[in-house]
């Protein structure tokens, strides 16, 4: 069983990726639960996820800001 805390964390990440839309809480919660459940399936190991093809967590990596040259 997936904890509510894990679902909440994933839903928050999805919310941020979606531009912090205030009207999509239920959608993000559902997506988070589905992603986490699919990651528990034996055939989900070493496969691409449903968000962005990044693999492991289902959350694409965030870009890293590079320091500007002075």
Which tens digit of pLDDT belongs to each residue from 12-48? 999 999 999 999 999 999 999 999 999 998 775 555 5
User: Alpha-carbon distance 66 to 39, whole Å?
Assistant: 32
Domain spans of the chain, in order of start: 1-59
Q: What is the pLDDT of residue 70?
A: 53
Cβ atoms within 10 Å of 22's Cβ, excluding its own? 6
CB burial of residue 62 (10 Å; 0-12, 13-18, 19+)? exposed
């Amino acid at each position: 069983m997936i904890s509510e805390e894990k679902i909440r964390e994933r839903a928050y990440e999805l919310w941020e990726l979606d531009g912090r839309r205030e009207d999509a809480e239920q959608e993000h919660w559902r997506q988070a639960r589905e992603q986490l459940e699919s990651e528990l399936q034996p055939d989900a190991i070493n496969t691409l996820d449903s968000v962005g093809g990044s693999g492991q967590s289902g959350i694409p990596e965030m870009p890293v800001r590079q320091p500007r040259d002075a």
